[in-house]
Amino acid sequence: MTAEAQLIILRRGTIEIISEAELVEKIKLGKPLRVKLGVDPTARDVTLGWAVVLRKLRDFQRLGHTAVLVIGDFTAMIGDPSGKSKTRKQLTRDEVKQNVEAVKEQFGKILDISKTEIRYNSEWLGAMSSEGWLRLCAHVTVARIMERDDFSKRWETHQPIAMHELMYPLMQGTDSVALESDVELGGNDQKFNNLMGRTLQEAATQAPQCVVLSPLLVGTDGKEKMSQSLNNYVSIVDPPNDMFGKTMSIPDDLILNWFELCTDVPFEEARALLGEGKNPRDAKVRLAKEIVALYHSREAAEEAERYFTETFTERRQPVEAEEAAIPPETVDDLNKVGIAALIAALGLAKSNGEARRLMQAGAVSLDSERLTDPFLSMPKKDVKDKVLRVGKHQFRKLV
């Protein structure tokens, strides 16, 4: 495929390429490009938002280039300060290791893992001497680091900036030097870090990498970028019914954007689904089915649509809700189940506190009986074999 034809494919789902002319010239050299994507395992689920850049790496891989997935087991202990208004909590090595094991298998739902070069940046960052760190810092001025938007904003508002945060862009740039990458992928919040890779490669007399930036996917709330901490996300390992239901909950104005970033449906075909006189709900159903089919199967997508129609359109209580065992840690000495603890333990809320807020908001029910007391405990026998509903689209039959 010609460089120009490849560029047409690679443009989809991107917001900026630095630069297209450089990328075309690199492709025209006729050898597979080393295309790098760095991921910090700070959480245990790959979300649709995270999948946007993974899918772009997949596009390069399908075009015959070398996909290099850098797992930031070293940088995850710092935490990327991109977009943060305060210093992030540092993860321990054990926390990072647990997250790595959780997400590695999920990458295979998007990439051809057998053809993916997987590297850990502790391999070179962890081996650097004090002299190495000093020489690295000599390549970048304080003024350059403070050009970064989130650092400058925190400085102007007298918010603390820890020294280790200032090192993060240099570490990510060092990854590019260590791997001699030709292209680096990232979300548009990674632009400063990605350009630092170009700076450090030039200092190391390497050809500077091209940078391909994708927009950040807005979450199901229609306001903030998709994030596990905000609970506005869809995980690629969500059960089909949950994945379908969460997608159906997005605002209509996100439909076209989600088609572009989360599916392989041709853009003009997706646009036609939202043409004059068309019902946005029908387009959203198609979107939800495409997403479920990508990460499960076409059959699972059809079944999820049927389930959603019966449960929400026809207002039936789901008789085939996914079964979930009552976790023993949610049962006290009196054999009573703490409902908030149960919701959190089943992964239907991020914490007990969030579960209580959902209960107070009237978003939790058991066999259609609304549970609003945030500190409610119920006898286990009264909970078992009933359907717990959390929010609009999450159901579990308790067993």
Q: 81 and 99: one domain?
A: yes
CATH of the domain at 255: 1.10.240.10
pLDDT at 84: 54
224 occurs within a structural domain: no
153 occurs within a structural domain: yes
Structure tokens given for 119: 């590297």
Instruction: Measure Cα distances from 2 to 5, 11, 399 in Å.
Output: 5, 14, 57
Q: 284 and 328: one domain?
A: no
> In whole angstroms, what separates CA 254 from the centre of its chain?
17
234 occurs within a structural domain: no
What is the total count of domains within the chain?
3
CATH of the domain at 372: 3.10.290.10
- Dihedrals phi, psi of 379, to nearest 5 degrees: -55, 140
**Is residue 322 helix, strand or coil?**
coil
Q: 281 and 331: one domain?
A: no
Q: 271 and 246: one domain?
A: yes
pLDDT at 83: 54
219 occurs within a structural domain: no
> In whole angstroms, what separates CA 197 from the centre of its chain?
22
Q: 354 and 390: one domain?
A: yes
Q: Are 159 and 85 in contact (CB under 8 A)?
A: yes
- Dihedrals phi, psi of 133, to nearest 5 degrees: -65, -40
227 occurs within a structural domain: no
Q: 178 and 210: one domain?
A: yes
pLDDT at 63: 96
User: Hunting for tokens 């997508």 — which residue is that?
Assistant: 301
Task: Among 288, 313, 338, give the residue marking a domain's end.
Answer: 313
25 occurs within a structural domain: yes
Q: 157 and 272: one domain?
A: no
What DSSP string describes 306-354? HHHIIIIIS-PPPTTPPEE---GGGB-TTSEEEHHHHHHHTTSSSSHHH
Q: 304 and 327: one domain?
A: no
Q: 77 and 154: one domain?
A: yes
Q: 205 and 81: one domain?
A: yes
What is the number of alpha carbons within 13 Å of residue 389 lying toward its C-beta?
Answer: 21
Distance CA 7, CA 125 (A): 33
Q: 202 and 74: one domain?
A: yes
233 occurs within a structural domain: no
Task: Residue 111: name the closest of 66, 54, 68 by CA.
Answer: 54
- Ranges under pLDDT 70 in the chain: 79-91, 313-320, 368
Distance CA 376, CA 388 (A): 14
pLDDT at 317: 55
Q: 53 and 173: one domain?
A: yes
Instruction: Measure Cα distances from 317 to 144, 255, 274, 314, 391 in Å.
Output: 58, 27, 31, 9, 14
- Dihedrals phi, psi of 255, to nearest 5 degrees: -55, -50
231 occurs within a structural domain: no
Q: Are 250 and 284 in contact (CB under 8 A)?
A: yes
One-letter identity of residue 294: L
Domain holding 340, by residue range, is 323-398
Give residues with Cβ within 8 angstroms of 286, minimum separation 6: 265, 273
Where are the strands (E) in the chain, listed by range? 16-18, 34-39, 66-71, 116-120, 183-187, 210-214, 323-324, 336-338, 364-366, 369-370, 377-379, 387-390, 394-398
